[in-house]
Amino acid sequence: MSSERPVTALAGPRLRHTSGFRLAVSSTVLAVVAAGLVLYLIYYGTVGLINRTIEQQIIEETGEIVDGQSQATPASLVANMREESAEAPHATIMALVEPDGRVIAGNISHPPLVAGWSWYKLRISSEDRKKTELIRGHGVRLADGGLLYVGKDATIFSILRDRMDDVFGISFLTLTMFGVGGGVLLGRGAASRVKDINRTLLQAMAGDFSHRVPRTGRDDEFDHLAKGINVMLERTEILVENIKQTGNEIAHDLRSPMARLRSGLELALIEPDREQLIEAVALSIVQTDQILEIFSSLLRLAQIESGARRSSFTRVDLSGLLENLIETYHLSIETRGRTLLTAITPDLMLQGDSALLTQMLANILQNAEKFTPDGGRISIFAMRCEAGLEIQMEDTGPGIPDSLHATALRRFGRIIDTARTTPGAGLGLPLAVAIAELHGGKLQLEDTAPGLRVRILLPHT
Amino acid sequence: MSSYKILLIEDDLKAVNLITTALSLDGHRVTPITDGHAGLLQASMQLWDLLIVDRMLPRIEGLALVKTLREVSVNTPVLFLTALDGIEDRVEGLRAGGDDYLVKPFSVVELLARVEALVRRCHVQKEVQYLQVEDLLLDRMTRSVTRAGQLLALTPREYQILDYMMRLAGQIVTARMLLDNIWNFSFDPGTTVIESHISRLRAKINNTGGELLYTVRGKGYRLGARVV
A304-323 pLDDT, tens digit per residue, is: 877 777 887 899 999 999 99
- B15 lies in the same domain as B88: yes
| Contact: A300, B85; criterion CB under 8 Å | yes
Residues A236-262 pLDDT 10s? 888 888 788 777 777 777 787 788 889
CB atoms within 10 A of CB A24: 21
Residues A203-227 have a mean pLDDT of 88
pLDDT of residue A308: 77
Q: In this prediction, what percent of chain A has a pLDDT beyond 70?
A: 91
Structural domain for B32, as ranges: 5-126
Q: Which among B87, B107, B188 has the least Cβ separation from residue A355?
A: B87
Question: CB of A289 within 8 Å of any CB in chain B?
Answer: yes
* A40-65 pLDDT, tens digit each: 888 888 888 888 888 898 888 888 88
Confidence category of residue A347, pLDDT binned at 50, 70, 90: very high
- Indicate the range of A116-130, A148-162, A308-322 predicted with least confidence: A116-130
Whether the pLDDT of residue A76 is over 60: the answer is yes
Shared domain for B60 and B164, answered yes or no, is: no
Q: A306 touching B, CB under 8 A? A: no
Quick check: is B219 in a domain? yes
Contact B189 A296 (CB under 8 A): no
Residues B189 and B120 in one domain: no
Is the CB of B157 inside 8 Å of chain A's CB atoms? Answer: yes
- On whether any CB of chain A is under 8 Å from the CB of B192, the answer is yes
Which of these three, B109, B126, B143, is where a domain ends?
A: B126
Chain A contacts of B188, Cβ < 8 Å? 293
Kindly report, residue by residue over B64-78, the tens digit of the pLDDT. 999 999 998 888 999
Q: What is the CATH number of the domain that holds B97?
A: 3.40.50.2300
> Considering the domain boundaries, does residue B57 fall inside one?
yes
For residues A99 and A113, give the distance between their C-alpha atoms in angstroms, rounded to a whole number. Answer: 10
Query: What angle in degrees, to the nearest 10, is found between the helix axes of B13-25 and B108-123?
Result: 60
pLDDT surpasses 60 at A3? no
Do B95 and B143 lie in a common domain? no
- As a whole-number percent, the residues of chain A with pLDDT over 90 amount to 20
The residue of chain B with its CA nearest to that of A327 is B157
Report the Cα A448 to chain-centroid distance in Å. 48
**B195 to chain A: which residues are within 8 Å by CB?**
332
What pLDDT is attached to residue B87? Answer: 56
Higher pLDDT, B140 or A72: B140
- Contact between A257 and A387 under an 8 Å Cβ cutoff? The reply is no
Q: What is the pLDDT of residue A1?
A: 44
- With respect to residue B228, please indicate whether it lies within any of the assigned structural domains: no
- For residue A219, the model assigns a pLDDT of 86
Residue A312 near chain B (CB below 8 Å): yes
Same domain, B81 and B96: yes
* Statement: residue A425 has pLDDT above 80: no
Q: Residue A152: which of A197, A119, A194, A199 has the closest Cα? A: A119
pLDDT, one tens digit per residue, over A373-395 is 999 999 999 999 988 999 999 99
User: Domain count of chain B?
Assistant: 2
Last residue of a domain, one of B107, B126, B145: B126
Give the burial class of A65: count Cβ atoms within 10 A of its Cβ; 0-12 exposed, 13-18 middle, 19 or more buried: buried
Instruction: Flag if B107 and A285 touch (Cβ within 8 Å).
Output: yes
Give a yes or no: residue B64 inside a domain. yes
**Which residue of B84, B87, B194 to mutate against A (max A Cβ within 10 Å)?**
B87
User: Pick from B131, B112, B102: which is nearest to B3 by CA?
Assistant: B112
- Average pLDDT estimate for B205-209: 85
Please report which confidence band the pLDDT of residue A341 belongs to, taking 50, 70 and 90 as the band edges.
Answer: very high
User: Chain B contact for A369, CB < 8 A?
Assistant: yes
The mean of the pLDDT values for chain B is 88
Task: Answer yes or no: is B74 within a domain.
Answer: yes
Taking 60 as the threshold, does the pLDDT of residue A423 lie above it? no
Substitution target from B18, B193, B197, B202 for chain A, most A beta carbons within 10 A: B193
Nearest alpha carbon to residue A358 among A385, A323, A404: A323
Element (H, E) at A158: helix A155-205
Residue B61 and residue B91 in one domain: yes
Q: What is the pLDDT of residue A422?
A: 45
One domain for residues B10 and B118:
yes
- Is B191 within 8 Å of chain A by CB? no
CB contact (8 A) between residue A299 and residue B188: no
DSSP for B18-58 reads: HHHHHHHHTT-EEEEE--HHHHHHHHHHS--SEEEEESS-S
A293 close contact with B: CB closer than 8 A:
yes
CA distances from A390 to A344, A362, A380, A435 (A): 10, 16, 11, 15
Backbone angles phi, psi at A109, to 5 degrees: -95, -30
Q: Is residue B67 included in any domain, yes or no?
A: yes
| Closest CA–CA distance from residue B105 to any residue of chain A (Å) | 8
> Taking all residues of chain A, what is their mean pLDDT, rounded to a whole number?
83
Taking residues A428-446, what's their average pLDDT? 90
Question: Could you tell me if residue B194 is inside a domain?
Answer: yes
Are both B105 and B155 inside the same structural domain?
no
- Do both B63 and B76 map to the same domain? yes
Please tell me the predicted confidence (pLDDT) of residue A269. Answer: 86
Collect all residues of chain B within an 8 Å Cβ-Cβ radius of residue A369: 190, 192
Report, as an integer, the average pLDDT of A449-457.
Answer: 91
Q: Given a cut of 90, is residue A302 above it in pLDDT?
A: no
Distances (CA, A) of B13 to A22, A222, B8, B34, B81: 67, 60, 11, 8, 14
Name the residue facing A328 among B105, B189, B218 (closest C-beta). B189
Q: Is B186 on the interface with A (CB under 8 A)?
A: yes
pLDDT per position as a tens digit, B88-135: 677 788 888 899 888 888 888 899 999 988 888 766 666 788 999 999
Inspect the interface and report whether the beta carbons of B85 and A366 lie closer than 8 Å. no
Q: How close is the nearest chain A Cα to the Cα of B113, in Å?
A: 17
All residues of chain B having their beta carbon less than 8 Å from the beta carbon of residue A326 are: none
CATH number for B137: 1.10.10.10
- Measured between alpha carbons, how far is B67 from B89 in angstroms, rounded to an integer? 15
The pLDDT, as a whole number, for residue A416 is 45
Q: For residue range B171-188, list pLDDT tens digits in order.
A: 899 998 999 889 988 788
Same domain? B141 vs B58: no
Taking CB atoms and an 8 Å limit, are B190 and A300 in contact across chains? no
- Please check the confidence at residue B196 and state whether its pLDDT lies above 90: yes
Co-location of B119 and B136 in the same domain: no
Best mutation site among A298, A330, A358 for testing chain B: the one with the most B CBs within 10 Å? A358
* B193–A328 C-beta distance less than 8 A: yes
Q: Which residues of B touch A282 (CB under 8 A)?
A: 218
Do residues A437 and A428 lie in contact, with contact meaning Cβ atoms separated by under 8 Å?
A: no
Q: What angle do CA B11, B14, B18 make, to 5 degrees?
A: 110
Which of B188, B193, B195 faces A329 most closely, judged by CB atoms?
B193
Confirm whether B205 is domain-assigned: yes
Check CB contact under 8 Å for B189 and A285.
no
Residues B150, B117, single domain; the answer is no
Given CB atoms, is B137 within the 8 Å cutoff of chain A?
no
Give me the total of CB pairs closer than 8 Å, taking one residue from chain A and one from chain B: 48
Chain-centroid distance, C-alpha A93: 72
* Torsion angles phi and psi, residue A448, rounded to 5: -105, 5
Contacts of B127 (CB under 8 A, 6+ apart): none
Query: Nearest CA of chain B to the CA of A191: how many Å?
Result: 52
Which residue, B126, B160, B185, sits at the end of a domain?
Answer: B126
Of A232-246, A323-337, A429-443, B57-71, give the lowest mean pLDDT range.
A232-246
Question: Would you call A277 an interface residue with chain B, using a CB distance cutoff of 8 Å?
Answer: no
Provide mean pLDDT across the span B205-216. 88
pLDDT of residue A168: 84
